[in-house]
Structure 1
Amino acid sequence: MKIYLVGGAIRDYLLNIKVTDKDWVVIGSNIKLMLKLGFKLVGKDFPVFLHPKTHEEYALARTEYKFGHGYKGFKYYVSPKITLKEDLLRRDLTINAIAQDELGNFYDPFNGLKDIKNRLLKHVSSSFKDDPLRVLRVARFAAKLKYLNFRIHDSTLELMKIMSNSGELSYLKPERIWKETYNALQSQNPQIFFQILKKCDALSIIFPEIDQLYGIPAPLKWHPEVDTGIHTMLTLKIISKLTNNVSTRFAALCHDLGKGLTPKKIWPRHPGHGKAGISLIKKLCKKLKIPNNIKNLSILAAQIHDIIHDIHNQKAEDILNIYNIIDAWRKPERVKQIALISEADARGRLTLELMKYKQGQYFIDIYKYISKINIKDIINNPLLKGIDINQKIQDERLKLLKYFLKLKN
């Protein structure tokens, strides 16, 4: 029996990325022997074990072949006779098909070490096309490793395009799509994930709401890039420099979805696109089973992002209403989230990436100032008995807000 460290742990170690999980493959063993050694069997589809002390995953070497559609359309074969090379052959990318023995020696039958050096994402074999999830995985790796100048090999990108046009992507489970998307949104360059999906014809299948934004014009005066799809990617790029929060990044991604519903006859204008986008956001989040907190923020951002651009010209009553709409009193984090999304929208335009966006901080400053009122004092004031407490609180907030605006003007 021989044990090798495999996959992402080796890749990340070689790239000086913090290793968070270690996966091991076991050659020349079987279930009975593993259980005898104290390993705990946890695999449902194929034998995977947890180490009795480290709790890291150990999988018996296996081969697989495609017989149906989607993730469940695989048959797995496990045997002590399966070689390390045969096990590595079934993996997706060469940089994930490197093994290391207990002495630190690398086993690299598919030149993964060379591809790491050359910053290439390249499929191991033609069996890559058997798993449609790999289209999303490679796009996600491209986003994750963009800062290290990794690129997808032309032949791999071509294979991804073939897979996208085969109909196989329609068999992917929503949970698996969202997991890959969520991980991509955590990367330094999540816009690369969606750009790659667009490049290999997958975006129209996985995210048609985003794909349809490409080719839709916006006024040149406000959008030098003109194309709404390009603007959306620029917005995602900017928001990812402003915050690591996935909810905020996703909401920024969805802020202009409503422009996909604007009638062509009034292009490049898009009146009411914020509210129009709500139905598309709800549909997308329901389809991919996206958590409610992310959906709700996305809806609010679509409604409000344009108003923040003009915050200096808004009436006190209208500004207070914005805080009420986003439920800022119970969810104060939303104030900064909305401010950042509006900033990303403003700066997510060609030639405007470095512009100063004072409106966002102004929106935050107003909230901080009017949050000074002591709610408990109002509630406990005996002189206010019988008075509508909520209305009194609103009145006090409005009074402070007007005073703040007077000071600033």
Structure 2
Amino acid sequence: MQIYKVGGAVRDRLLGIAVTDIDRVVVGATTEEMLAKGFRPVGADFPVFLHPKTGEEYALARTERKSGRGYGGFTFHASPDVTLEEDLIRRDLTINAMAEDDEQNLTDPYHGQRDLEARILRHVSPAFAEDPLRVLRVARFAARYAELGFTVAPETLELMRQLSESGELQTLTAERSWKEISRALMENQPQVFVEVLRACGALKVLMPEVDALFGVPQPAIHHPEIDTGAHTLSVLQQAAHYKQPLTVRWACLLHDLGKGLTPEEQWPRHIAHESKGLKLIKAVNERFKAPRDCQELALLVGEYHTHGHRALELKASTLLELLQSFDVYRRPQRFEEFIAACEMDARGRKGLEERSYPQADYLRGAATAARSVAVQPLLEQGFKGPELGEAIKRERLKALKAYKEASS
């Protein structure tokens, strides 16, 4: 029995990056031998075991054969005669197909170290094209390592293009897709994930609503970058720069989908794109079964982001409606995330990345003013039921009018 560290643990150590997850492969062992040593089985599809003391994962060396469509269409074979090289060749990228023993002796049959040094993401073998999930994985790795200068090898991008055109991407489950998308959005350069998907034709298959934004112009006076797709990528980049949470990044990706529906004869204006985009945002949310908080914020940002930009001009009654829409009294964090998404939208414009966004503090102040209205005095005055609701609304409106006057 021989045990090796494999995949990301080896890759990141060689890159000088902190190693967080360690995967191990066991060569020359049987399931019975692992169980005899106290390992606990956890793998449903192939033999994976948890170490009896550390709880870390150990997988028996295995080969795989394509037996059906999609991510799950594989037959696995694990036995003591499967070699380390045979196990490594089934992996996605050469930089993930290296192994090392406890003395850090490297096994690198597919030149992963060479590709690490050249900053290339390259597939290990033609079998790469058998697994559609790898399109998303490579795009995610491109986003993760873009800051280090990594790019996707042309021949790998071509295989990804073939996969995108084959119909295999449609076999991915919403859960698998969302796992990769959400992880990619939380990388330091999430816009690269979208760029790579677009370059290989996968964006058109997975998110045609986002793909449709590229080539759609916006008024140069407001958007010096002009192209709506380029703007979306810039907004996403700003969200990462300011370390926004997943909810905000998802909303940033989807906030302008309505502009993809504008007839060409109306370009570069996009009248009512906020409301028109809601059905598209809802469709993307449902397609990937995004978490509820991500879904809700994306819809609210899509509908109200221009309200955020015009906050200082809004009437007190419109401000109140905005605050009510977000339920700022019970869910203040959601409104804070809305403000963040609006600020990222404003900063995601060419040459305007450092411009101040006074709307943010103004909106926070408005929320504070509305929340400051005390309910107890109204109860003491005898208001109850619907009348109480109307009384609270009147007092909040009065507070917002006073706030506007004090701010002007």
TM-score interval for Structure 1 and Structure 2 normalised by the shorter chain = over 0.9
1:261 corresponding residue in structure 2:
261
Higher mean C-alpha deviation, range 231-240 or range 392-401:
392-401
2:51 corresponding residue in structure 1:
51
Q: TM-score, normalised by structure 1?
A: 0.95
Instruction: Kindly report which structure 2 residues correspond to 1:199-278, keeping only aligned pairs within 5 A, or say none.
Output: 199-278=199-278
| Residues 281-329 of structure 1 deviation map (CA, whole Å, 9 limit, x = unaligned) | 1111111111222111111101110111111111111111100011111
Equivalent residues of 1:378, 1:393 under 8 A apart? no
Instruction: Kindly report which structure 2 residues correspond to 1:6-405, keeping only aligned pairs within 5 A, or say none.
Output: 6-375=6-375, 377-378=376-377, 381-386=379-384, 388-405=387-404
Instruction: Tell me how far 1:179 sits from its aligned partner.
Output: 0.6
Please identify runs of 4+ aligned residues in structure 1 that moved more than 6 A. Answer: none
Equivalent residues of 2:383, 2:391 under 8 A apart? no
Identity among equivalent positions (%) equals 46
Specify every segment of 5 or more residues in structure 2 that has no aligned partner in the other structure, as ranges: none
Q: Which amino acid aligns with 2:322?
A: I
Q: Which amino acid aligns with 2:407?
A: K
| Separation (CA, whole Å) in 2 of partners of 1:401 and 1:395 | 10
Specify every segment of 5 or more residues in structure 1 that has no aligned partner in the other structure, as ranges: none
Higher mean C-alpha deviation, range 356-365 or range 269-278:
356-365
Counterpart secondary structure, 2:226:
coil
Higher mean C-alpha deviation, range 17-26 or range 182-191:
17-26
| Separation (CA, whole Å) in 2 of partners of 1:386 and 1:269 | 47
Counterpart secondary structure, 2:270:
coil
| Separation (CA, whole Å) in 1 of partners of 2:384 and 2:163 | 68
Instruction: Tell me how far 1:371 sits from its aligned partner.
Output: 2.5
Equivalent residues of 1:335, 1:363 under 8 A apart? no
Q: Which amino acid aligns with 1:143?
A: A
| Separation (CA, whole Å) in 1 of partners of 2:306 and 2:266 | 19
Q: Which amino acid aligns with 1:136?
A: L
Equivalent residues of 2:275, 2:302 under 8 A apart? yes
Q: Supply the RMSD in Å over aligned alpha carbons.
A: 1.6
| Residues 337-374 of structure 1 deviation map (CA, whole Å, 9 limit, x = unaligned) | 11121122222122222222211221122222332333
Higher mean C-alpha deviation, range 180-189 or range 398-407:
398-407
| Separation (CA, whole Å) in 2 of partners of 1:289 and 1:139 | 20
The count of residues paired between Structure 1 and Structure 2 equals 407
Instruction: Tell me how far 1:91 sits from its aligned partner.
Output: 0.6
Instruction: Tell me how far 1:2 sits from its aligned partner.
Output: 0.4
Counterpart secondary structure, 2:277:
helix
Q: Which amino acid aligns with 2:146?
A: K
Instruction: Tell me how far 1:265 sits from its aligned partner.
Output: 2.4
Q: TM-score, normalised by structure 2?
A: 0.96
Equivalent residues of 1:274, 1:303 under 8 A apart? yes
Counterpart secondary structure, 1:145:
helix
| Residues 29-88 of structure 1 deviation map (CA, whole Å, 9 limit, x = unaligned) | 011111111111111111111111111111110111213210122111112111111111
Distance 1:203 1:386, change over 3 A: closer
Equivalent residues of 1:242, 1:340 under 8 A apart? no
Counterpart secondary structure, 1:165:
helix
| Residues 96-129 of structure 1 deviation map (CA, whole Å, 9 limit, x = unaligned) | 1111112222211122222222222111111111
